[in-house]
Chains A and B, each alone.
Chain A
């Protein structure tokens, strides 16, 4: 990767090898030897490139082999398909042992560069990833094998054309910057972008040692996925995790550690809030924003309905009459009528309990029609007969909604 590319840049692999001498790099280079053996059909340019490596021992054998095999197969394909002539000068000129990925990319690059006549100067292809994340490497290689040489760089970067290298490096630079990973790419964009211009080998060389130690640490970690897909996946997971944490603060009972139960809790809470809105909107019928208009409405409504119900001085009595009449025909309409007034039905026992709790002087109730055999204490005459004279209707708001504020909300609507 970067050391290799820089080497290519500087054309002095030996010195750069010494400069960037990390273990991984050695392993990479040494892995060329077994891969060469695997190939079995040495091509001339590659041979040239491979020669300096033969002396090194293969330290890095096993985990690298399958990707090497794939790489070799792909290379053959690309060599045959791509610029067979183009690659040789570059490889020869480089005179350095490249990893398979690098060589493939080089050949691919050569194919294109020869078309554009760019030569070998500005064409240093960046290997996407070396060694580390062998699976990702092989995947990339396989992808490339399927497509054209042009399309070979689609997985890393979707730009095409001659500017693919610069574009590729730029794209990978962005992606890397987003990922904020100490990956192979990290050092790569910096030197690679200089490829298009006159490659400052000195700058690359100096950057190398500084960037080498962190890169070395990252590279040495086996099994660390380095392709853009897993990086994006990791980003996405982190984003989801922090949003779940923010939701945890909003939702009560959010001490669940499990994501599934947390989602359940969130869903239940949203449903609960929506139900609260619905109930509150029903309970507010007959009311207005300000208190004064509300009272007027209530009295006017009671008066209106009372007029139809056969008058009593007490509008509440009128209300009761009305409710009783409605209950005879249809319970639902009776309930709706009550709800329109902000009233509700409740058992007499409960009403008396509430009234005593709130210490109201007189607490009367509209008894439920279900309990016709109730005592006539609080005006059981809703169905049977005229209610007791001094009766106030308890409005129990939000008994359904909050449950906790029942006492507080119980108000007596006394007649003016």
Chain B
């Protein structure tokens, strides 16, 4: 099941059922544990589950999925203070060109050269849009 996607994507491929399965399982798990956590925490968990299911569906073929899984697993243990990030950003922001901006957006994008950056961005956009469509469909089916 593709998550009931009403818009057949020309780029669709058999990875979508994997995406839906993983995400729905994660959602169920989160909601079972819902009583104990706050609202913001749960939204954060859902967002993280979305990205994890994206990365799992993409597999280890993609550099961004590997980097994302690493980052998420690391972040679940260590919480970074938002304060120190801000101080660093103000220094770096001077000479950012577009490629650097894209590198920051894409997980694992710092260590790529430009052509592979473009390729990974294409795959990332594909999976992101699939995930968004999936979540939207779930919402629609529940609240529609």
Which of B27-35, B55-63, B74-82, B85-93 lies at the interface with chain A? B27-35
Closest-by-CB residue of B relative to A277 is B50
Closest-by-CB residue of A relative to B120 is A243
Closest-by-CB residue of B relative to A395 is B143
Interface residue ranges of B104-144 to A (CB < 8 Å): 105-106, 114-115, 118-119, 121-122, 124-126, 128-129, 131-132, 135-136, 138-144
Interface contact A340-B105, CB-CB below 8 Å = no
Q: Let me know if B7 is at the binding interface, CB within 8 A.
A: no
Q: Let me know if B39 is at the binding interface, CB within 8 A.
A: yes
Q: How far is the CA of A280 from the CA of B119 in the complex (A)?
A: 26
A270-B102 CB under 8 A given contacts A243-B119, A286-B34: yes
B46, B50, B124: most-surrounded residue (chain A CB, <10 A): B46
A267, A270, A276, A284: most-surrounded residue (chain B CB, <10 A): A284
Q: Let me know if B72 is at the binding interface, CB within 8 A.
A: no
Interface contact A297-B101, CB-CB below 8 Å = no
Q: How far is the CA of A271 from the CA of B119 in the complex (A)?
A: 17
Interface contact B31-A239, CB-CB below 8 Å = no
A243-B40 CB under 8 A given contacts A267-B98, A274-B128, A280-B136: no
Interface contact A240-B51, CB-CB below 8 Å = no
Q: Let me know if B13 is at the binding interface, CB within 8 A.
A: no
Closest-by-CB residue of B relative to A294 is B142
Interface contact A283-B139, CB-CB below 8 Å = yes
Interface contact A270-B106, CB-CB below 8 Å = yes
Closest-by-CB residue of A relative to B46 is A281
Q: Let me know if B36 is at the binding interface, CB within 8 A.
A: no
Tally of chain A residues near chain B (CB < 8 A): 52
Q: How far is the CA of A267 from the CA of B126 in the complex (A)?
A: 14
Tally of chain B residues near chain A (CB < 8 A): 45
Closest-by-CB residue of A relative to B119 is A243
Q: Which residues of A contact B44 (CB under 8 A)?
A: 281
How distant is B67 from chain A, measured CB to nearest CB, in Å? 15
Which of A83-91, A112-120, A220-228, A401-409 lies at the interface with chain B? A401-409
Q: Which residues of B contact A269 (CB under 8 A)?
A: 125
A409-B144 CB under 8 A given contacts A273-B128, A283-B139: yes
> Of A250, A274, A282, which is within 8 A of B122 by CB?
A250
Q: Which residues of B contact A364 (CB under 8 A)?
A: none
Interface contact B46-A247, CB-CB below 8 Å = no
Q: Let me know if A350 is at the binding interface, CB within 8 A.
A: no
Q: How far is the CA of A342 from the CA of B60 in the complex (A)?
A: 35
Q: Let me know if A291 is at the binding interface, CB within 8 A.
A: yes
Interface contact A284-B139, CB-CB below 8 Å = yes
Q: How far is the CA of A240 from the CA of B101 in the complex (A)?
A: 17
B24, B34, B114, B143: most-surrounded residue (chain A CB, <10 A): B143
A270-B144 CB under 8 A given contacts A281-B46, A289-B24, A297-B31: no
Q: Which residues of B contact A283 (CB under 8 A)?
A: 139
Which of A100-108, A139-147, A258-266 lies at the interface with chain B? A258-266
Per-residue interface assignment for chain A, residues 208 to 250, with 1 indicating a CB less than 8 Å from any chain B CB and 0 otherwise: 0000000000000000000000000000100110011011001
A250-B143 CB under 8 A given contacts A236-B115, A288-B28: no
Q: Let me know if A397 is at the binding interface, CB within 8 A.
A: yes
Q: What are 29 contact pairs spanning A and B, CB under 8 A?
A: A244-B118, A247-B118, A263-B102, A266-B121, A267-B98, A267-B101, A267-B102, A270-B102, A270-B121, A274-B128, A276-B132, A277-B47, A277-B50, A277-B131, A281-B43, A281-B49, A284-B46, A285-B39, A287-B31, A287-B138, A289-B31, A290-B28, A291-B141, A294-B142, A336-B39, A337-B39, A339-B43, A340-B42, A409-B139
Closest 9 pairs (CB-CB, A-B): A281-B46, A281-B47, A243-B118, A340-B39, A288-B31, A273-B128, A289-B24, A280-B135, A263-B98
Since A243-B118, A270-B125 are in contact, a sample of 12 more A-B pairs with Cβ atoms closer than 8 Å, ordered by chain A residue number, is: A250-B126, A276-B132, A277-B128, A277-B132, A281-B49, A287-B142, A290-B28, A291-B142, A397-B143, A398-B139, A405-B136, A409-B139
